[in-house]
Structure 1
Amino acid sequence: MTRQINPHGLEKLKQWEGLKTKAYKDAGGVWTIGYGHTAAAGTPAPHQGMVITEADAESILLKDLTQYEAAVENNVNVKLNDNEFAALVSFAFNVGINAFKNSALLKKLNKGNFDAVPSELMKWVKAGGKKLQGLVNRRRAEGYLWMEGAYVASKDVVPEQKTVHPVLKPEVIGPVISVASGLTGFATGSGPFQWALAAVMVIGVAIGSFYFIKRLREAEL
């Protein structure tokens, strides 16, 4: 059985695609309905005056996604957690299977370069030779989905969590930020020990912020 996109990823994809229950012509003049469904994806063929329900739209989307889910499963040679799989399904759904299969993103990923994916996604933000803010936003969101540490395990795959830098772990950075936010009152106490500990707290926050911002900037390059 082909692996399926997880509920979290599906909800994200639906948000990015947007729902239209009445058929319309897209920017290329193609009749479209539901969550970006066109006749090229299979039945039903959208036409002028066609109207469907939200439930119909989701049913059509799930059917349309099977070919993209299969493309990701059959062409990625490394183990993916559910959010990583969902991000690639969304990407393939948007750019097309052939573009996905021939992308540098896929080549780098299959060599084990997981960190290259967010930046490679950001190279796919043009349509008709023009950079579109909508595509920039979608690629950025797919990159964030890719980098999310949490996942919803599928019934067939139990993926491994990716290693998180110790400084970025919630149990480390959370208390540091909490304490650092109250340093004004803390530092007013007497004694060199309090000031030394306060300095350590500030350094900890600075290091954590550096790694977090660096990761986000890499995803948007």
Structure 2
Amino acid sequence: MQINQNGLDLIKQFEDCQLEGYLCPAGIPTIGYGHTKTAELGAIITEAEAEAMLKDDLKDAEAAVNQLVAVPINENQFSALVSFVFNIGAGAFENSTLLAMLNAYASATTVAAQFLRWNKADGQELPGLTRRRHAEQALFLGKDWKVYLF
């Protein structure tokens, strides 16, 4: 399964495209749409390079979701999970209560509530992460995630 347009749009809205390398709120060098693998502070890229990095990064997140989720899910659920994994990393997802509940056939509402537990960096709640988690939760439940773009 691959991310759908809703999931891609959600990621782009919350990652924002930065064409110069910077430190994210968690202190990690980042560039483009949240790319961290090869990001360096002060590096400059083009919009096309940012898009290519995003598509490459999403392959890793898609593969993680495809590998770790052991139950049937729909396109929006998959896409919400790809956004989530893209943001927190596959290792954190693999060890999450969210994944354990999903694979134990918990209800979609119960699983979706777990997104909101992942809204902190260095123990501090970040309003942008809270909005993103609400948007991912809404997409997971098949609701309008764009209401969280304020």
For the superposition of Structure 1 and Structure 2, which TM-score range results when normalised by the shorter chain? 0.7 to 0.9
Q: Corresponding residue for 2:79?
A: 86
Q: Secondary structure at the match of 1:122?
A: helix
Query: Could you say if the C-alpha distance between residues 17 and 83 of structure 1 is closer, same or farther in structure 2, counting changes exceeding 3 Å?
Result: same
Per-residue CA distance 1:140-173 (angstroms, 9 max, x = gap):
00011111169xxxxxxxxxxxxxxxxxxxxxxx
Q: Corresponding residue for 2:21?
A: 23
For 1:69 and 1:22, the matched residues in 2 are separated by 26
- Number of residues paired by the alignment? 143
Q: Is the aligned partner of 1:146 residue 2:140?
A: yes
Q: Corresponding residue for 1:9?
A: 7
Q: Corresponding residue for 2:30?
A: 32
Q: Partner amino acid for 2:77?
A: E
CA RMSD of aligned residues (A): 1.7
Q: Corresponding residue for 2:148?
A: none
Structure 1 gap segments, 5+ residues each: 151-221
For 2:122 and 2:40, the matched residues in 1 are separated by 25
Deviation of residue 137 (structure 1)? 0.5
Sequence identity percentage: 45
TM-score, length-scaled by structure 1: 0.61
Give structure 1 regions of 4+ aligned residues with deviation exceeding 4 angstroms: none
Counterparts of 1:1-221 in structure 2 under 5 Å? 3-38=1-36, 41=37, 45-113=38-106, 114-148=108-142
Q: Partner amino acid for 1:120?
A: Q
For 2:76 and 2:54, the matched residues in 1 are separated by 18
Higher relative contact order (CA 8 A, sep 6+): 2
